[in-house]
Amino acid sequence: MKQLKPVQAEAPSFSSSTSVLAATCSSSSSTDVLEIELLLDALHRAHEYDFRGYARPSLTRRLAQAREHFGCRSYSQLQDLLLHEPMALPKLLGYLTVQVSEMFRDPGYFRALRQEVVPHLKTYPSLKVWVAGCGAGEELYSLAILFREEELEDRTVFYATDIDRDALKQAEAGIYSLDRLALFTTNHRRSGAKGSLSEYYHAGSRAAVFDRTLRKRTVFAEHNLVSDAVFAEAHLISCRNVLIYFGRPLQGRAVGLFTEALARKGFLGLGDKETLRSTGHDEAFEPFVPRERIYRKRGEL
Ligand SMILES: C[S@@+](CC[C@H](N)C(=O)[O-])C[C@H]1O[C@@H](n2cnc3c(N)ncnc32)[C@H](O)[C@@H]1O
């Protein structure tokens, strides 16, 4: 990643006046569109983060929130800030990468893994599982717990990757606020749990710390599905609630990576919001649990 020399020690002080300005001289939407293109180009050229192929409606919404947060009158002003104030980058990335998640989110997906996929995984002596776009780790811990419950943990290496460094740090820490645990517990039970979720964490006064042994077989790494190469020869790739943020060509690129990364007859779990349709790679897979968008790579590939 290129390091740009800071030209200002502190964030510019145009914040309070700009909300008024933004309200009074709102730019035309075609100007916004142009300025957003230029901003994304600058983000790519200066920092090598490429959001140019993300689905525009939600990206535009998130950029508008970032612009509001930074108190910028226009996207050009936000671009200026990005180029001259290094501290702006992580914050902007925080807006551009959506971090909504739950443990055992959509429990039917995990139930389908247990019931339909695990029996096949049990036939392999060693396993690699890639959690692509793992966010703050909720999906990773869900899979690690499921693999322990299904007695697959000892033969498995997990690769947990994301574009967002801060999210990866949270994933490595495995600490979640107590107010989220009721939902995690319900989801876990609905996923066909074999025990209680409370066996896997220690609750403090405000947060629960998940058992570090759950991640002892996990490699955490920054990996960008837009620009980086294939990660590992995997038996299962779980990439949920990530492709929805991509435009079609980018979805195609990511699924192309998964196709290359998967072992013969490996499984790809996308979750119920995404599909292989129109990615250009649906031929490479057979639907395995269609309801949960779990696919299996065809054996002849
Ligand atoms: C909504 S979260 C999904 C987290 C988890 N997979 C789940 O379903 O609970 C989307 C994640 O995708 C990550 N992401 C977005 N663009 C990415 C990219 N180009 N490469 C890798 N991860 C990306 C974000 O940083 C974020 O952690």
- Please write the tens of the pLDDT for every residue from 104-150: 999 999 999 999 999 999 999 999 999 999 999 999 999 999 999 99
CA dist., res. 102 & res. 106, Å (int): 9
Question: Is 22 a pocket residue for ligand 1 (Cβ < 6 Å)?
Answer: no
- pLDDT number for residue 141: 98
What average pLDDT does the segment 51-63 reach? 95
Six token digits for residue 249: 């060509």
**Nearest CA among 269, 274, 200 for reference residue 244:** 274
163, 172, 180, 243: residue to mutate for ligand 1 pocket, most atoms within 8 A of CB: 163
Question: Is 274 a pocket residue for ligand 1 (Cβ < 6 Å)?
Answer: no
CA dist., res. 291 & res. 206, Å (int): 37
Read off the pLDDT band of 5 (50, 70, 90). Answer: very low
What average pLDDT does the segment 239-258 reach? 95
Question: Is 135 a pocket residue for ligand 1 (Cβ < 6 Å)?
Answer: yes
Question: Is 242 a pocket residue for ligand 1 (Cβ < 6 Å)?
Answer: yes
pLDDT digits (tens, 9 = 90+) for 71-102: 999 999 999 999 999 899 999 999 999 999 99
Question: Is 55 a pocket residue for ligand 1 (Cβ < 6 Å)?
Answer: no
**Nearest CA among 36, 39, 47 for reference residue 90:** 47
CB contact at 8 A, 184 and 104: yes
How many CA atoms lie less than 13 Å away from 182 in the CB half-sphere? Answer: 1
Q: Which atom belonging to ligand 1 lies closest to the Cα atom of 167?
A: 27
Q: Does residue 188 surpass a pLDDT of 90?
A: yes
- pLDDT number for residue 129: 98
CB contact at 8 A, 288 and 267: yes
CA dist., res. 95 & res. 116, Å (int): 36
Check residue 26 and report its DSSP letter. P
Six token digits for residue 295: 């696919």
40, 54, 97: residue to mutate for ligand 1 pocket, most atoms within 8 A of CB: 97
What is the 87 CA–ligand 1 centroid distance (Å)?
A: 22
CA dist., res. 47 & res. 28, Å (int): 28
The distance in angstroms from the start CA to the end CA of the chain is 35
Q: Does residue 293 surpass a pLDDT of 80?
A: yes
Taking residue 91's Cβ as centre, other Cβ atoms within 10 Å add up to 17
What is the helix (H) or strand (E) element at residue 89, kind and residue range? helix 88-96
- pLDDT number for residue 301: 56
- pLDDT number for residue 8: 29
Q: Does residue 27 surpass a pLDDT of 50?
A: no
